[in-house]
Structure formats: structure tokens, C-alpha cells
């Protein structure tokens, strides 16, 4: 079966190149997964074919596995059928139009993307501490043990762990922020010797950008956590205190050092004003979380996905 130009690919490299072309415009993570899956399948079939030429093997594979166009269409169809729990109702990811249009000021209260981003912000401090500690400790020990026999194996294991952690973080990002990230676990490129595979991993820019992401995640995590906790806790505290005092009559709202304000905010109009302010603060917190989720999703996509 031929491609759009009437010529069937005769090499694995040509097949993958055409598949990449057919997937142009799709999320980078989808392209990465599709290329990795196909390359593994094609190289396994080539290895099992023995002395048969690569062109003949590829012709047989195309008959059963499909042309690059057919494979691309299948991956796109599968992608459209999958939706994460925090994806918006109209799209799998939060794209530029979503941010510009938004869910509406009050609509954010029922927007899953906003709550997913808020959960991510609350988790980011713990994950940031772990990533930063792992990265700094691993780099320091790799450099310190470089003069010993165990230095190289340790460094390779550390690099492997960085790739795995980057993949796990990608799954968290996709689940909570709705940004398409690689779903295929990282593996060696295959099709070569052990040394060739190690060189390929070391040359893979994703290995090093994942390390940068792990280090960068700590300051970002501290910022996200502080914004989520301070904004959310203050807004929720003001709202709940005002409602509780209105319902029970117990003096829970106090403004220290400002007796006039304290007297006003302990009246029904003052308490109602505080309740409205707390409610608006919660809405604002969700809007901030949604924007931060969008921005961080772009950062994760840039550093954890191989274009």
C-alpha cells in the first residue's frame, strides 16, 4: 500500500518519518508515544525476519500493521476516545482558546480543570521537595563517585531514575492538569548494542530537560503551594466565620486594633459583606489555579516531552 505520494516506505526510518508527518498538528506527547510504539514493533519484526531484506519485511508489515496514514488515524481516534477526569467537557486539554474564553466568572465553580489544578498546586510542594532532593543528591553522588569503579553504573542508574520520574510526573500532570503527556514508559531505544543504547539515552535531550524540571519544580512548588493555601484558606476562613456567626450569634469575627471595623463586621450587613468577599475569594482562587495549571502544563510539556 502506498502513501499519499504513491510510494510505500521501504525502510523503518522512512516509515517513522512519514508517520511523524501524518501526525503533524497532534500533541507532541502523542507523536512521541506513536513513534516509540511503531519503532519497537517494526524493529522486532525486522529482527525476527532473519536474512529477509528490510524492504520486504516492511512491505509485509504494512499489509498487516497498516500504512503510516492508517496508523496515524488510529492513534488520533484512540486519543479522542480518552478523557482524563479533570479534562473540560469540550476538550481533552486546556488549550489557548480555553484560557482566553474561560468557563465564566462563576462557571469556574463547576470547572473540573480548576479543581484539578488546585489539587496539583497543593501536591506540588511535596513532589518538589522529593524531586529536588533526588536530583541534587544523585548529581552530587555521581560526580563524587566518578573516580571509583561504581561511579559509572551509579550515574547510569541515576539517569535512568530521572527518566522514570519524568514519566511519572507526566502522568500526574496529565491526570490533574489535562495536558497530554507521554503514556509510554521510558525504555532504551533498542536496535543496537548496550553501549549504543546508553549513548542514545545520554544524547536524548529529554533526559537532561527532565533533570532541569526536577530542580525547577521545588521553587515552583513552593510558590504554587503558598498561593493555594493562603488564598484558599483566607477566603474559606472568612466565608465560614461569617456564616457561622450569622447562624449562631457567637462572636467569631474579630478585627484587632480597629474597633470601628470590628463593630461593623459584627453586624448583619457587615457579616453578609464578609461572606460575599470570602465567596468571591474562593472563585478568584479557582481562577488563579486554572491559569497556573495552564502555565505549568506548558512548562511540563516543554521539558518532559521529546518533540
Predicted confidence at residue 256, as pLDDT, reads 65
Are 151 and 145 spatial neighbours (Cβ–Cβ below 8 Å)?
Answer: yes
Are both 156 and 101 inside the same structural domain?
yes
C-alpha grid cell for residue 207? 533526559
pTM reported for the whole predicted model: 0.79
Are both 163 and 180 inside the same structural domain?
yes
Are both 197 and 49 inside the same structural domain?
no
Quote the crossing angle between the two packed helices 112-144 and 151-177, to the nearest 10°: 170
End-to-end CA distance of the chain: 28
Predicted confidence at residue 204, as pLDDT, reads 79
Are both 95 and 217 inside the same structural domain?
yes
C-alpha grid cell for residue 290? 486554572
Predicted confidence at residue 91, as pLDDT, reads 39
Are both 174 and 296 inside the same structural domain?
yes
Domain that holds residue 52: 1-82
Are both 63 and 210 inside the same structural domain?
no
Q: How far apart are CA 17 and CA 40, in angstroms?
A: 15
Are 210 and 165 spatial neighbours (Cβ–Cβ below 8 Å)?
Answer: yes
Are both 165 and 299 inside the same structural domain?
yes
Are both 72 and 90 inside the same structural domain?
no
Handedness of CA 244, 246, 248, 252 (dihedral sign): positive
Are both 175 and 68 inside the same structural domain?
no
Are both 73 and 183 inside the same structural domain?
no
**C-beta neighbour count of 78 within 10 angstroms:** 11
Q: Please list the helix, strand and coil fractions of the chain in percent, rounded to the nearest 5, in that order.
A: 75, 0, 25
Handedness of CA 10, 13, 16, 18 (dihedral sign): negative
pLDDT mean for each 10 residues of the chain (307 residues):
59 85 86 85 77 78 82 83 56 45 79 93 96 96 88 90 94 92 73 71 85 96 96 89 80 69 72 88 94 95 84
Are both 219 and 298 inside the same structural domain?
yes
Q: How far apart are CA 104 and CA 124, in angstroms?
A: 26
**153-166 per-residue burial string, b: 16 or more CB within 10 A, e: under 16:** ebbeebbeebbebb
Are 285 and 234 spatial neighbours (Cβ–Cβ below 8 Å)?
Answer: no
Are 162 and 207 spatial neighbours (Cβ–Cβ below 8 Å)?
Answer: yes
Total domains, the chain: 2
Predicted confidence at residue 225, as pLDDT, reads 97
Domain boundary among 82, 106, 126: 82
Quote the crossing angle between the two packed helices 268-304 and 205-248, to the nearest 10°: 170
Amino acid at each position: 500500500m502506498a502513501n499519499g505520494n504513491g510510494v510505500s516506505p521501504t525502510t523503518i526510518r522512512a516509515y517513522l518519518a512519514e508517520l511523524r508527518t501524518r501526525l503533524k498538528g497532534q500533541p507532541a506527547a502523542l507523536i512521541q508515544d506513536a513513534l516509540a510504539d511503531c519503532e519497537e514493533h517494526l524493529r522486532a519484526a525486522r529482527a525476527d525476519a532473519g536474512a529477509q531484506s528490510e524492504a520486504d519485511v516492511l512491505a509485509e508489515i504494512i499489509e498487516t500493521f497498516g500504512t503510516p496514514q492508517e496508523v496515524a488515524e488510529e492513534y488520533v481516534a484512540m486519543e479522542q476516545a480518552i478523557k482524563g477526569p479533570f479534562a473540560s467537557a469540550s476538550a481533552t486539554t486546556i488549550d489557548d482558546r480555553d484560557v482566553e474564553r474561560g468557563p465564566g466568572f462563576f462557571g469556574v465553580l463547576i470547572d473540573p480543570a480548576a479543581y484539578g489544578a488546585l489539587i496539583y498546586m497543593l501536591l506540588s510542594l511535596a513532589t518538589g521537595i522529593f524531586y529536588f532532593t533526588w536530583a541534587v543528591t544523585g548529581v552530587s553522588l555521581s560526580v563524587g563517585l566518578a573516580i571509583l569503579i561504581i561511579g559509572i553504573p551509579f550515574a547510569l542508574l541515576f539517569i535512568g531514575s530521572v527518566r522514570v520520574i519524568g514519566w511519572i510526573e507526566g502522568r500526574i500532570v496529565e491526570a490533574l492538569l489535562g495536558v497530554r503527556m507521554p503514556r509510554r514508559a521510558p525504555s532504551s531505544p533498542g536496535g543496537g548494542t548496550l553501549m549504543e543504547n546508553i549513548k542514545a539515552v545520554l544524547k536524548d535531550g529529554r533526559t537532561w530537560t527532565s533533570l532541569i524540571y526536577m530542580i525547577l519544580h521545588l521553587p515552583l512548588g513552593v510558590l504554587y503551594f503558598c498561593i493555594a493555601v493562603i488564598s484558599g484558606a483566607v477566603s474559606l476562613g472568612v466565608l465560614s466565620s461569617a456564616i457561622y456567626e450569622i447562624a449562631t450569634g457567637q462572636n467569631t469575627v474579630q478585627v484587632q486594633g480597629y474597633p470601628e471595623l470590628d463593630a461593623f463586621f459584627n453586624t448583619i450587613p457587615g457579616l453578609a459583606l464578609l461572606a460575599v468577599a470570602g465567596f468571591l475569594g474562593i472563585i478568584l482562587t479557582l481562577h488563579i489555579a486554572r491559569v497556573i495549571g495552564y502555565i505549568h502544563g506548558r512548562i511540563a510539556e516543554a521539558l518532559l516531552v521529546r518533540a
